[in-house]
């Protein structure tokens, strides 16, 4: 059986992201979303999620290219004077790995984001990360202590088959090779601990190598190469004009990704091929 989780990242980033995500849930194949608890659209996203209780919501842990959920404290600082994390994910990753004095602040920040989510009253179904920062070794080790504490039972284990993706979208070859290599190694490190903790994850995650370019054409072709088991495909739908989307992701094709999630041809293909749309809880969605 081929089962498919279709997730939208950056829920809560902005109104443009929020409106597209809810519309993709109501009118398309979206089954879940990941919430940024310190985003400018956080309160709106929570209200929309409560109005649409069938939409499963998880935490989109943000430790790069975003804002802190805590007040600035500690030295060296985790964030800048405006409460922003580093913009460069490589720089952030190096800091988090080598500066051991940041680990206490990271733990407090990650726990603050989890508790802010839980304070909304929404069920927390899964955890992933902005730019997949949740797979960073330091961050992951912290999460392994916190996930059992807060009852988090599903995790995005980000890794993707490079050869398959290059057949679907033969672009950015060197960058994709690097990303696939890094996340394959990270996944091999993470998987044994997730298994020991009894935390579920998908067989494969698509969206890593073609992030921001998940068009309907790509999505249609991706359905032909799904493996048996559970696959997660994640998107970044959004409506423009939107200052936050333009600032953080100027090259992402947000509106085309929304169109991919609501395309009639795509929904017909899912129905005709017998692919089961579901969320992390296992609830099935008809399209």
Residue 28 has pLDDT above 90, yes or no: yes
Q: Mean pLDDT, to the nearest integer, of 107-129?
A: 97
Rounded to whole angstroms, the Cα distance separating 195 from 125 reads: 17
Q: Contact 85/92 with Cβ under 8 angstroms? A: yes
Predicted confidence at residue 189, as pLDDT, reads 98
Per-residue pLDDT, 248: 95
Task: Kindly indicate the confidence band of residue 229, based on its pLDDT and cuts at 50, 70 and 90.
Answer: very high
pLDDT value, residue 187: 98
Q: The dihedral of CA 177, 188, 148, 22: what is its sign?
A: positive
If one counts the domains in the chain, the total is 1
Residue 72's pLDDT is: 75
In angstroms, the CA 31 to CA 25 distance is 6
Collect all residues with Cβ–Cβ distance below 8 Å to 65 and sequence separation of at least 6: 85, 86, 87, 89, 130, 131, 248
Taking only Cα atoms into account, the Rg of the chain, rounded to an integer number of angstroms, comes to 18
Query: How far is residue 65's CA from residue 55's CA, in Å, rounded to a whole number?
Result: 25
The pLDDT score that the predictor gives to residue 99 is 96
Q: Which pLDDT score, from 0 to 100, does residue 173 have?
A: 96
The predicted-structure confidence for 92-112, as pLDDT tens digits, reads as follows 999 999 999 999 999 999 999
**Nearest CA-CA partner of 194 in 222, 160, 154:** 154
* Mean pLDDT value across residues 250-279: 96
Looking at residue 74, its pLDDT comes to 75
CATH label of the domain that carries residue 233: 3.20.20.370
**59, 117 Cβ separation under 8 angstroms:** yes
Lookup result for tokens 């209200």: 47
User: What is the pLDDT, as a whole number, of residue 167?
Assistant: 96
Q: Are 159 and 135 in contact (CB under 8 A)?
A: no
Distance CA 217, CA 278 (A): 22
Indicate the pTM of the whole model: 0.96
Per-residue pLDDT band for 1 (boundaries 50, 70, 90) equals very high
Yes or no: say if 184 and 159 are a contact pair by the CB < 8 Å rule: yes
Q: Which spans in the chain are helix H?
A: 15-27, 42-51, 89-98, 103-119, 137-150, 162-168, 173-197, 216-223, 243-248, 254-261, 264-273
> In whole angstroms, what is the distance from residue 238 CA to residue 286 CA?
23
pLDDT of residue 71: 81
As a whole number of angstroms, the distance between CA 167 and CA 224 comes to: 12
Interval 255-268 mean pLDDT: 97
Per-residue model confidence as pLDDT tens digits over 157-216 = 999 999 999 999 999 999 999 999 999 999 999 999 999 999 999 999 999 999 999 999
Mean pLDDT of 143-161: 97
Average pLDDT, the chain: 96
Can you tell me the mean pLDDT for 138-147? 98
Output the pLDDT for position 287.
81
Give the integer Cα–Cα distance in Å for 82 and 243.
18
Paired strand residues for 284? 278
> Are 25 and 55 contacting, i.e. CB atoms less than 8 angstroms apart?
yes
Range of the domain at 234: 2-285
31-87 pLDDT tens trace: 999 999 999 999 999 999 999 999 999 999 999 999 999 987 778 899 998 999 999
């Amino acid at each position: 059986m081929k089962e498919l989780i279709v997730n939208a990242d950056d829920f809560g980033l902005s109104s443009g992201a929020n409106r597209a995500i809810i519309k993709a849930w109501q009118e398309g194949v979206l089954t879940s979303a990941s919430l940024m608890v310190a985003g400018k659209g956080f309160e709106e996203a929570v209200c929309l999620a409560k109005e649409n209780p069938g939409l499963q919501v998880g935490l989109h842990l943000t430790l790069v290219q975003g804002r802190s959920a805590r007040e600035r404290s500690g030295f060296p600082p985790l964030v800048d004077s405006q409460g922003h994390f580093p913009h460069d994910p490589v720089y952030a990753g190096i800091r988090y790995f080598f500066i051991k004095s940041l680990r206490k602040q990271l733990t407090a920040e990650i726990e603050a984001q989890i508790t802010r989510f839980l304070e909304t009253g929404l069920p927390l179904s899964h955890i992933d990360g902005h730019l997949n920062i949740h797979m960073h070794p330091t961050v992951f080790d912290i999460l392994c202590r916190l996930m059992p504490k807060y009852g988090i039972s599903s995790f995005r284990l980000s890794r993707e088959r490079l050869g398959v993706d290059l057949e679907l979208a033969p672009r950015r070859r060197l960058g994709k090779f690097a990303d696939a290599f890094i996340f394959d190694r990270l996944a091999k490190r993470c998987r044994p601990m997730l298994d020991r903790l009894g935390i579920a994850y998908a067989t494969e995650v698509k969206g890593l190598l073609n992030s921001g370019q998940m068009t309907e054409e790509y999505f249609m072709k991706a359905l032909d190469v799904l493996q048996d088991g559970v696959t997660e495909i994640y998107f970044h739908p959004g409506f423009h004009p939107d200052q936050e989307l333009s600032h953080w992701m100027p090259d992402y094709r947000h509106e085309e990704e929304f169109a991919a999630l609501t395309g009639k041809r795509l929904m017909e293909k899912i129905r005709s091929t017998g692919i089961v749309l579901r969320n992390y809880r296992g609830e099935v969605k008809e399209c």
